[in-house]
Amino acid sequence: MKPIFEYTKGMTDMPTHYCPGCTHGIAHRLIMEVLDEMGALGKTIGVAPIGCSVMAHQYMNVDMCEAAHGRAPAVASGIRRVHPDKIVFTYQGDGDLASIGTGEIVHAAVRGEKFTTFFINNGIYGMTGGQMAPTTLIGQKSTTSQDGRSKELNGMPIKMSEMLASIDGAVYVERVALDSPAHIRQAKKAIRKAFEIQKKGLGFTLIEFLSTCPTNWGMTPVKALDWVRNNVMPYYPIGVIKEPKEAEEA
């Protein structure tokens, strides 16, 4: 009997505190599977955010550091500059990256910092109980948009990946989704590519994950995947937004 799928040793054996069916757990596993396959678990330093994934350092089996809300890119910039031989990443939610930490992520990209950001876009502030995020969709209800987000009052949902891709220092930006096995396979390839580009020192790399928050969306986990497919993906299309020339040729 040989195993064809096992839980990666890139994750600790600790059960996570995430709600049932929350796709934070899938994103964690994919990143750690890739690092394990690269033989890089002992050569990686991650930076966890504030948000539901504040405890990521307990689950990811690599050296990690915790940053203040939105400040992971600043912390990762320092770590990567001091340890240029290490793989460095941040793991950040949409409240963390697209709201309180907008300045940090933009300027990390501007400086072309050579770490990778994993941006978990679930369209809501999960940890604090479901407030509207900059990424909440038009019409989507949250505790601070009880009649649904309005363009008039709140503006359109921000497209961070497209915005960051317009910056010279950002060399690879891709949006992936965690709604199906096929998209999860694609997501894993994107993570690998980001780390390979980081190792070449080409510049800032970012993968945006369309993720779920069944609890605060008020849906079953299965319905939340349908919501991603039917409502989130049309506004936030998945695919490569920017990549270095050599990656296209490879």
Ligand X SMILES: Cc1ncc(C[n+]2csc(CCOP(=O)(O)OP(=O)(O)O)c2C)c(N)n1
Minimal distance, residue 250 CB to ligand X, in Å: 32
Provide the Cα torsion 141, 146, 149, 152; round to 10°.
Answer: 170
179 contacts Mg ion (rule: CB under 5 A): no
Taking CB within 5 to 8 Å according to partner kind, which of ligand X, another protein, ligand SF4, none is near residue 215?
ligand SF4
Taking CB within 5 to 8 Å according to partner kind, which of another protein, Mg ion, ligand X, none is near residue 1?
another protein
Minimal distance, residue 24 CB to ligand X, in Å: 6
Binding site for another protein (CB under 8 A): 1-7, 11, 15-16, 18-26, 29, 180-181, 184-185, 214, 220-222, 225
From 23, 44, 53, 212, residue interacting with ligand X (rule: CB under 6 A) = 53
52 contacts ligand X (rule: CB under 6 A): yes
- Write the binding mask 79 to 118 for ligand SF4: x where contact by CB under 6 A, - elsewhere: ----------------------------------------
Q: Interior CA angle at 203 toward 198 and 207, to 5°?
A: 65
What's the rounded Cα separation, in Å, for the pair 209 and 135? 12
From 26, 31, 50, 88, residue interacting with ligand X (rule: CB under 6 A) = 50
| CB atoms near residue 1 (< 10 Å) | 2
For residue 44, CA distances in Å to 10, 57, 64, 101, 223 come to 11, 12, 8, 23, 35
From 205, 215, 238, 243, residue interacting with ligand SF4 (rule: CB under 6 A) = 215
Query: Closer CB to ligand SF4, residue 198 or residue 216?
Result: 216
Q: Exposure pattern of 133-169 as b/e (b: 16+ CB <10 Å)?
A: bbbbbeebbbeebeeebeeeeeeebbbbbebbbebeb
Q: Which of 55, 62, 67 is nearest to 16 (CA)?
A: 55
What's the rounded Cα separation, in Å, for the pair 87 and 198? 7
The residues binding ligand X (CB under 6 A) are: 50-53, 69, 93-96, 100, 120, 122, 124-128, 133, 213
The residues binding ligand SF4 (CB under 6 A) are: 18-19, 22, 24, 52, 122, 126-127, 213-216
